[in-house]
A and B are shown apart, each in its own frame.
Chain A
């Protein structure tokens, strides 16, 4: 298995090379003027576009610009983010914890809740429990995230004045700024850092700000997981070995949980893994509506402003995430289904 993992990790280099060429190529389809315009916001500044092209060598041939970029990246310089007003690398480590923090809470709920709902729906096929969960799934999956986030915000924050948007409250922000010696940002995730600093109030404050984003994300995403699980359970329950187990007098719980669910998990692991990987670029709508400046928000802003270094960085990051996720999934398959051998 170790050889397999090393081989897959080496493959990562080729994936990153391919991704970088592809994204760079796509961005090069924009004219030098258009790329220089990223540094310009007003008509007053537009007069300097030709000089900006010259300054950054934006009219050089593709390969020169690409190798210039590679050279800088190999030195650890990912470039400057116009959107974040700081180096890309520095900005990345600031935005990533915000997205990670949401996933940290949303992902387990999505997986556990999806498996649970899918299981009971599959077991109680064509009963009212099944109908209710299926309707829930269809509604959840069809809901535009942006709209659903707004509805939650209006109900909870607008009417009940609960769950303020943002990452932490102003009071906590001011406390941290006034007392830098009393609060260290170990991970950049306030829920975790609050515990590590012995400040449960900060953890609770951060959790309060996570309720609506996590709820939105879970309800929208859990449906897919649930549907896959339900199909798997239904399929497994109709197989011969289940009939044999029933004939041998095995109790329902053992049949459903030990036999059917375990075998139905394989496709769910695939789907959950892909969902997790995708969630690493953040849910753009959730981050925009709830004012959480994470990777998704950064990506959206950078795409609209053609902040090239950021687009390159996030695409490469996503390449790494998908390769690593797929590798993890392969290892998980082998664990769930011992018939699978990794060579």
Chain B
């Protein structure tokens, strides 16, 4: 028995000793990121999520990329200079962009970069244009069409000829010909769908053969059938050493990289869904950075040995009022009448109702209780960090004013009869749930005849249902595709915008201004337009802007070199910039 006790004590001391050994830099040449983003493809024309972009940006390279923390200033990558009006790279009419292509760049499988590769890459990606992909951005800028197919899925007549003519190589230059000025183009050229492929290699792997007459054959590949799904050959600082889907992705330094030698030899992105596991990996130094969801920020703030960065993102979430709700079999509007047991389909078309809801949202409490102050409370969709942003007035929390407006609504019937409705949010999103509850409780406090229920709906169902006009109020966010006000204002306010359409909101002036804003290159003129649109956002009481998220990136303190950028979300990691010491 005595011997057993001694063995137990020795084991315990050993464990204590083992447990106490930490603090030194682990694997100084390897960076480990523990994340949970689902990587679906490595084909640049299909990848349309932040996880895929992270992989592609480290393996491939675009012509230009964000300069440090700027989202509207760029540095040349595969181009030798960033084109501008001043250096003649952009024509005075804003319809021609000229890039000089860098020489001496090698692809990871040995090919040399040529201007022809650049031309091919853009054409190939536009021709492929898969459903649900990112190519609408480049297509809209270079061809004036948002897709190669119409609403019925048929290929638009002449679209491939337009693609063929919109970009050309001349000597060491590549020239883009736009049908009309498109100011966000420079931002779009940073996106992972604008990276450059090796033409010969891509063709050998089954991509478009370079003959425009055969383009239709390569259009809209089915998911899983894109040729570059799991193979890569970029000119970037890292190459893909291994990819085990939803397990890990391993980068290795590309020794033939044309630029400065990357300091890290390897990087591993691990798929770790459970927060406790990620946290312990960070604590033990087995991960150099982990993804931290907003609710876990206080935990990482209490941990030692970390460097934290608070990075505001170019994204905004709002509660949208649907002004023409689908009444068919819709439980969210009760009886569908203003009889105390439901709401009519056009309930929110009365601006008084919208203003009443806006005044009932307690922004300060929301900011403090839900985000611990770690959030930007937006005033319009043109959030901080975007060009031409301005702080417009907001409907301050005031239940008396809210009562005033609701008494006026629908000729006083709303106040007299009361109403019943359901506000939905997507399951698991606590920030949106809290916003819905605040709105519901404050509105219900105005009159006992007001009844609002808050329910959660699974995200994929939510995506489908709001597009069927099923929700009186839907809470949803938008992350920047590119850093330009057009990407937000058009989406939120135009009658054909992604959210404007499903709010059934229509205002002639708003539509006209949104369309004008994208066709003018003079910044002063654009500023006037977008300022006016932001004012209209307030006066029209279109929706409740809820939050612009600030993410906290938690690194072990031995990681150096990270440069925050609002366009590079939590999933991003530019390996070239960082090192361990």
Contact = CB atoms under 8 A, between A and B. Distances in A.
Interface of A: 31, 33-34, 37-52, 54-55, 80, 82-87, 91, 94, 150, 153-154, 157-162, 164-167, 170, 173-174, 177, 288-291, 293, 301, 305-306
Most chain B C-beta atoms within 10 Å of own C-beta, residue among A44, A288, A290? A44
A84 B277 contact: no
A54 B153 contact: yes
A153 B280 contact: yes
A165 B272 contact: yes
Contacts of B274: 150, 288-289, 291
Interface string B247-270: 110100000000000000010101
A45 B48 CA distance: 8
A288 B463 contact: no
A106 B252 CA distance: 36
B464 to A, nearest CB: 4
B562 interface: no
B165 interface: no
B19 to A, nearest CB: 4
B217 to A, nearest CB: 16
A153 B278 CA distance: 11
B21 interface: yes
Given A158-B280, A170-B27, A173-B250, 19 more contacts: A34-B460, A37-B460, A37-B461, A41-B48, A42-B48, A46-B467, A47-B498, A48-B132, A51-B153, A80-B223, A85-B39, A85-B40, A86-B245, A87-B224, A159-B19, A165-B280, A167-B247, A173-B268, A291-B274
A166 B273 CA distance: 12
B449 interface: no
Nearest to B462: A37
Nearest to B246: A293
A41 B268 contact: no
A52 B460 contact: no
A205 to B, nearest CB: 14
Interface of B: 15-16, 18-19, 21-22, 27, 30, 32, 38-41, 48-49, 131-133, 149, 151-153, 220, 222-224, 229-230, 241-242, 244-248, 250, 266, 268, 270-274, 276-277, 280-281, 283-284, 286, 460-461, 463-464, 467-468, 476-479, 481, 498-499
Contacts of B248: 173
Please provide the 3 A-B residue pairs with the shortest distance between their CB atoms, ordered closest to farther.
A80-B224, A37-B460, A160-B19
B18 A86 contact: no
A52 B224 contact: no
B498 A44 contact: yes
Contacts of A167: 247
28 contacts: A33-B467, A38-B460, A39-B131, A40-B463, A41-B38, A41-B48, A43-B463, A43-B498, A45-B132, A46-B467, A46-B498, A48-B131, A51-B131, A51-B149, A55-B131, A82-B223, A86-B224, A91-B245, A154-B276, A165-B277, A165-B281, A170-B27, A291-B277, A293-B246, A293-B247, A293-B271, A301-B246, A305-B460
A161 B460 contact: no
B120 to A, nearest CB: 25
B284 A85 contact: no
Interface centre among B151, B230, B276 (most CB of A within 10 A): B276
Nearest to B285: A161
Contacts of A288: 273-274
A270 to B, nearest CB: 34
A165 to B, nearest CB: 5
Contact of B242 (A45, A50, A54, A177): A177
B460 A49 contact: no
A119 to B, nearest CB: 24
Contact of A55 (B222, B277, B283): B222
Contacts of A85: 38-41, 224, 229-230, 245-246
B49 A290 contact: no
A40 B223 contact: no
Contacts, number: 148
B193 to A, nearest CB: 12
Contacts of B476: 43
Contacts of A160: 15-16, 18-19
A52 B132 contact: yes
A301 B271 CA distance: 12
B91 to A, nearest CB: 30
Contact of A86 (B38, B230, B461): B230
A97 B501 CA distance: 49
Given A48-B131, A289-B277, A157 B284 contact: yes
Among B41, B274, B479, residue most surrounded by chain A Cβ atoms (within 10 Å):
B274
B137 to A, nearest CB: 10
Contacts of A42: 48-49, 479
A169 B152 CA distance: 50
A8 to B, nearest CB: 36
A162 B149 contact: no
Given A34-B460, A165-B281, A84 B245 contact: yes
Among B15, B230, B272, B460, the one with the most A-chain Cβ atoms within 10 Å of its Cβ is: B460
B277 A290 contact: yes
Contacts of A54: 152-153
B231 to A, nearest CB: 13
A250 B229 CA distance: 71
A44 B48 contact: yes
B49 A49 contact: no
B132 A39 contact: yes
A138 B478 CA distance: 49
B481 A44 contact: yes
A82 B39 CA distance: 9
A301 B151 CA distance: 32
Given A40-B460, A174-B266, A150 B223 contact: no
B498 A34 contact: no
A22 B229 CA distance: 33
A176 to B, nearest CB: 9
A109 to B, nearest CB: 20
Contact of B32 (A47, A161, A170, A306): A170
B40 A82 contact: yes
Contact of A291 (B18, B222, B270, B498): B270
Contacts of A46: 463-464, 467, 498
A295 to B, nearest CB: 13
A208 B478 CA distance: 44
Nearest to B487: A44
Contact of B30 (A86, A170, A289, A305): A170
A315 B440 CA distance: 42
Contact of B464 (A33, A39, A47, A48): A33
B255 to A, nearest CB: 14
Nearest to B252: A177
Nearest to B476: A43
B440 to A, nearest CB: 23
A289 B203 CA distance: 42
Nearest to A36: B464
Contacts of A83: 38, 245-246
B55 to A, nearest CB: 12
Nearest to A54: B153
A16 B272 CA distance: 34
